[in-house]
Amino acid sequence: MMRRGSTHDSLETVIAAASAIASAEGRVQPVSVQPANKGPFATAAPWTSSLHDWRSPNRYVTTVGTMVKAYLRYEPRLVFGVIASVDSNISYDSSGKHVLAGALDSVAVWDMKKGTCSKYLSPSSHSSYSLAVTSVASSPSTSSSSIASGHADGSIRLWDLDAGTCEATLNGHRSATTVIRYNHLGSLLASGSKDCDIIIWDAIAEAGLFRFRGHRDQVTDLAFFDSAKKLASCSKDKFVRVWDLETQHCIQTISGHHSEVWSLDVDPNERFLVTGSSDPELHFYQIKNMAEEIDSSNKWDLLKHYGEIKRQGKERVATVRFSKSGNLLACQEAGKNVEIYLVLDEAKAKSKAKRRFKRKKEKVLAKSAGVVENGNSASAPSVPDSIGLEPGVLVSDVFKLSQTLRASKKICSIAFCPVDITKGTIATLSLSLNNNILETYSIEEGKADKKYTVELQGHRSDIRSVTLSSDNTLLLSTSHNSVKVWNPSTGSCLRTIESGYGLCCTFVPSDRYALVGMKTGTLEIIDVGSGSCTEVIEAHSAAIRSIVSVPDDNGSAGSSFVTGSADHDVKFWEYQLRAKPETESKQLTVKNLRTLKMNDDVLVISISPDAKYIAVALLDCTVRVFFLDTLKFFLSLYGHKLPVLCMDISSDGDLIVTGSADKNLKIWGLDFGDCHKSLFAHGDSVMDVKFVRNTHYMFSVGKDRLVKYWDADKFELLLTLEGHHAEVWCLAVSSQGDFIITGSHDRSIRRWDRTDEPFFLEEEREKRLEQMFELDLEANENKYAPREELPEDGSVGVPGKKTRETLTATDLIIDALDAAEDELKRLEQHKLDQQVGKADEFQPNVMLCGRSPSDHVLHAISTVHSNDVEQTLLALPYSDALKLMAYLKDWVQNPDKVELVCRITTVLLQTHHNQLITTPVAKAMLIELKDVLHARVKECKDTIGFNLAAMDHIKELMSMTSVAPFRDAKAKLMEIRSRLSRDSDEYKRERKKQKKSNKLVQT
C-alpha cells in the first residue's frame, strides 16, 4: 500500500482518458465537491483507495480532471473538571436547592446535597475565551426559573433554568460584565461593567431600558431599593452613587471612602446599606423612609451616614451580603476569612443601647463621686447634659460580630441560601474557593458547621498530564496532589487517588494499573480498579519528565517501559508480578533493567512503533536518537533555539515531530535526520504534540491556549480549535483518532470529537484571513476613532451597542424597503395598464413570500431582537427612515404592534429631528401619525388598566377567602405540603417500629 497523499500513474491515466472522452462527446458538466462516502473513517471511493492508508480520517473528493482533498472537522463536545471559576461569583437559584457557579464559559448548576452537577448552561458559540462567565445572578421570584450570566465580552445571557436553554443575549457593554443584580420582582436587571457604565434591562421584554454614566472606574457592585425605585452602585473610583429609576438620573453621590469600594448591599427590610472597601471599617448608611423623612441637609438624599464598624481582618473587603431574612451580614475578605455579624431587631437594639447608656452613666457618676471623696470638688467633672436624655441607637447596637469563618483556601465568592432548609440553623452559606471547591456551611449561634463539599469533580490545580487506556474507555489525569480516573464519554470522575505532584502518566497493558512519574523522582503504581496506590518506587533522584511504553512487534504496548528524568538518566524497566505476603493474590511491580546516561536533563522521550529507535530530547535543545536494542547513537536532531518540550513519532516510523519553547514545530525524517519543515506553530511555547495513529496528521497544543490540527505531509495548518482559557499543558489522541483530550492550566479537561462534516484547506485558509482582516479593521477603527468625551456626572445614554448582528439587520430592513418600493411601483403600473386595458393578471414578487409590501417590511423589522431595535434603526440612512415612517400608520392598526411602532417612532424622531422639521414631505406624515398613534396608545393603556383592576379585584376576593395574604399563598401551600409529608413519614416510621415490636413480642 502506498503512502497517503502520493500519486498513482495508472489512476491519472484513467482520469485523463475519462475527461478527454467526456469533452469529445460534449457532456462535460461541472461536478460539485461532495463527500465520497461516510463512516467512522470517511475514505475515498473504492477505486481511489490506493491513494492513502484506509485508516485515514479524511477523504479525497473527485471532480472531472481534478482531485480535491477533504478533511473531517473536529468540534468541541465535552468540558469537565471545572467546579467553579475564580473570576465569577456564585449564586443560589430561587428554590435554594442548587448553586449556580461560573465554570469558564458555562454556568454549572450544582446540587450541593448530592454533590453532582445537574446541568451545564453553555452558549451555542464555542469561539473563544471571550465568553468566560464573569458574573451570575438568579431571579428572586419563586415563580420564575430565570437566571442571568455576564460574560467577558460584555454580553449578558438570560437562561431558563428548568429547560436549560438560552432565552436571549443582551449586548450593551463594551468590556467585561462585573456584576448583575435582579430587583425583588425579577422584572428588572441591572448590570455593571469595566466600561464604567450601568445598564438597566427589562428582563421580561429582554431589552435595554437606559444606561447610567458617571462612574470613572470599574463598577463593582449594585443593589436595588425596591420600595423607593432607586439603585445604588459602587465603583473603584471610591464613590457610591444613588440613581433614580423613574427620572433616570443620579440623585446622590457619597464620598468618604479612602480606597476602592468593592461591594455593597441592602438588607431585605431596606433599613441599612453597607459598603466594604480596603478601609479597615465597614461603612453603614440609613435608608430614608418615604413616610418618615430622616433629617438631612438635602431633602433629596436617600442615604444618611450611620456609622462604621471596625473589621477584624486586614485584607480588603471582597463581598458584603445580607441573608434572606436580614438577620445576618456576611463580610468576605480577599483572603480566607468571612466575618459574620448578627443584625439585631429594633427592640433588641434599643435594649442594648439602654444598657450601654446605663453603663456610661454609672461610670461618669462613679468618677465624679470618687473625686468628691478626695475633697477636690472644684475639679469634679460635670455630668453631661446628654445623660438625662433618651439614648440613641448606634450602629454598634444593631450589628454585632458573631463569628469568623475561616476556610482552607482563599475565598472567591459567597452566597446565602434564600431558603432555610435545615432546622435549628440561622442561615446557610456557600463559598467558592480558588482551588476549585464549593463548600456549604450551616450558620448557628456562635459556630458554623460544614455540611456539603463539592471537590471530587475536579482537580485542585492545573492538569499536568493526561493519557487514555488502550480501549479509550478510561482517562487518567494528574495534578499537584492527586490522580483522577475519568470516563471520557460522560466526563464523570470514577476514582480519585491522593498522590504527589504527577508530571507524566501512562496505563500499563491490560489497563488494570497505571504508572505516574512524580516531580520528586518517585514512580507510583496505581491500581485503577481499587483507586489506590500499591507501591512507590524511588526511580530517579530528580523529576520524572516522561514515561513511554515499549511496543511489541505488533505495535501494541509491551512488557516494559522507559522513564526519563532531570537527573540525566534514561531508565528501562520491566513489569513483574509479585505475590502479596498477606494474601494469595499478586500485584504489579517493576524492575530496572538498564540505564542510559545522558549529559543533560532529559525532557521528553519517544519510541518508534517498531521499537527500533528511541529519541531523547535534552535541555541543550537537541534530540538524540539511539537504537533501542543496543543503545548505540544513531542521529542528532538540532535546530531548535530553545529546549524541546514535546515530540512524537508517526505510526509508520517515517516522521518525527518536535515542539519547542521557541514556538516552532519541526518535522524530521527519521531515516536520515533531515528537517523537512519548520513551522511557526503557536504564539507561545509548544507544550505537547501527537500524531493521529496510522496517519501523518498531528495535533499540537501550546501556552497560547490553542489546539491546532496539522497535515505533516503538506506542512499545512488544517484547523485551530479555541476554547481553553489558559495555557494548554497536555494532549491525548484516541487510538482511532475519533477524538482528542486536552488538559489545561484552567483546570478543565476538554474533549474534541471528529465529525462527518468535511472541510477544505482553501476554505479554512480564507476564513482565517477574513478573521485576521476583521480584527485588524476593528483595531484600526478603534485606534483612529475620535475619543469619547467623558460623560457628564450622572448622565443617561442608550443601552445597546453596535454589533455585527445590528448591521446585518439594518441591511435586511433596507433590502425589504427596496423590495416593497419596487412592488408598489409595479402595482401602480398594473393599475394604469388596467385602465388602458393592456394589463394581464398581476404576478406578485416571489421574494415577498406572498406578503403585501407593508407586511414584508414589518416582517423584516419584527425579526430584529428587541434589544437591537434602537441600534438597528440608528444605522438607517435618512432616506430609508422616511420610507419606514410611511408604513407606521398602517402597522399601528394591529394591537400587537403598537409598542413596536412607538419604539420605532421615538428612535427615528430623536435621531432625525432636524431633518424631519425641514422636510415638507414629512410634515403631513407626522401630523397623520400623531393623531392615529395617540388614539391607539390610549386604547392599549385603557385595556391594560382594565386588566390590572380586574386582577386586583380577584386578588382581594382570594385574600378574603384565604387565611394567608395572596402573595404568600404559594409559600403557605408549600409549607402545608411539607408539613403533611413530614407527618406521613413520621407515621410510617411509627408503624414500622410498632410492627417490629409486635414481632419481638410474638417470638
pLDDT digit string (tens) for 924-951?
Answer: 888 888 888 888 888 888 999 999 999 8
CATH class of the domain whose range is 600-725: mainly beta
Strand, helix or coil at 829? helix
The grid coordinates listed for 849 are 413570500
pLDDT score recorded for residue 794: 65
pLDDT digit string (tens) for 731-742?
Answer: 999 999 999 999
Q: 223-232, 273-282, 768-777: which range is least confident on average? A: 768-777
By C-alpha distance, which of 8, 3, 62 is closest to 696?
A: 3
325/315 Cα distance (integer angstroms): 27
pLDDT band at 769 (very low <50, low <70, confident <90, very high): confident
Backbone angles phi, psi at 373, to 5 degrees: -65, -30
Strand, helix or coil at 210? strand
pLDDT score recorded for residue 777: 64
919/916 Cα distance (integer angstroms): 5
- Which residue in this structure is represented by grid cell 502506498? 2
Q: 235-244, 437-446, 826-835, 980-989: which range is least confident on average? A: 980-989
- Selected residue with higher pLDDT from 527 and 832: 527
CB atoms closer than 10 angstroms to residue 617: 29
Mean pLDDT computed over 35-55: 36
| pLDDT of 49 higher than 90 | no
pLDDT digit string (tens) for 12-30?
Answer: 444 444 444 444 434 333 3
pLDDT score recorded for residue 4: 38
pLDDT score recorded for residue 50: 33
CB atoms closer than 10 angstroms to residue 114: 11
pTM listed for this prediction: 0.81
| pLDDT of 658 higher than 90 | yes
Mean pLDDT computed over 890-907: 87
| pLDDT of 45 higher than 70 | no
| pLDDT of 307 higher than 50 | yes
pLDDT band at 917 (very low <50, low <70, confident <90, very high): confident
Backbone angles phi, psi at 456, to 5 degrees: -75, -15
SS (H, E, C) 37-63: CCCCCCCCCHHHHHHCCCCCCCEEEEE
Strand, helix or coil at 107? strand
Q: Is the dihedral of CA 504, 506, 508, 512 positive or negative?
A: positive
pLDDT score recorded for residue 64: 42
pLDDT digit string (tens) for 681-738?
Answer: 999 999 999 999 999 999 999 999 999 999 999 999 999 999 899 999 999 999 999 9
pLDDT score recorded for residue 40: 36
By C-alpha distance, which of 83, 114, 121, 80 is closest to 97?
A: 114
| pLDDT of 783 higher than 80 | no
Q: Which CATH architecture has domain 84-213?
A: 7 Propeller (2.130)
The grid coordinates listed for 990 are 411509627
> Integer distance in angstroms from the first to the last C-alpha of the chain?
82
pLDDT digit string (tens) for 147-196?
Answer: 999 999 899 999 999 888 999 899 999 899 999 999 998 899 999 999 99
pLDDT digit string (tens) for 277-299?
Answer: 999 999 999 998 754 554 545 66
pLDDT band at 70 (very low <50, low <70, confident <90, very high): confident
pLDDT score recorded for residue 632: 94
By C-alpha distance, which of 163, 224, 220 is closest to 189?
A: 224
pLDDT score recorded for residue 389: 47
Mean pLDDT computed over 304-315: 91
Q: What is the mean pLDDT of the chain?
A: 84
Same fold: 84-213 with 600-725: yes
- Selected residue with higher pLDDT from 39 and 419: 419
pLDDT band at 56 (very low <50, low <70, confident <90, very high): low
Angle in degrees, CA 100, 103, 109, rounded to 5: 30
Backbone angles phi, psi at 575, to 5 degrees: -75, 140
The grid coordinates listed for 755 are 465529525
- Selected residue with higher pLDDT from 275 and 765: 275
Q: 464-468, 822-826, 957-961: which range is least confident on average? A: 957-961
Backbone angles phi, psi at 358, to 5 degrees: -65, -45
pLDDT digit string (tens) for 358-415?
Answer: 888 888 888 777 665 555 554 445 544 444 445 678 888 899 999 999 999 999 999 9
By C-alpha distance, which of 561, 566, 531 is closest to 549?
A: 561
pLDDT digit string (tens) for 71-114?
Answer: 999 999 999 999 999 999 999 998 888 999 999 989 999 998 88
pLDDT score recorded for residue 792: 63
pLDDT score recorded for residue 371: 60
Domain boundaries, the chain: 84-213, 600-725, 804-918
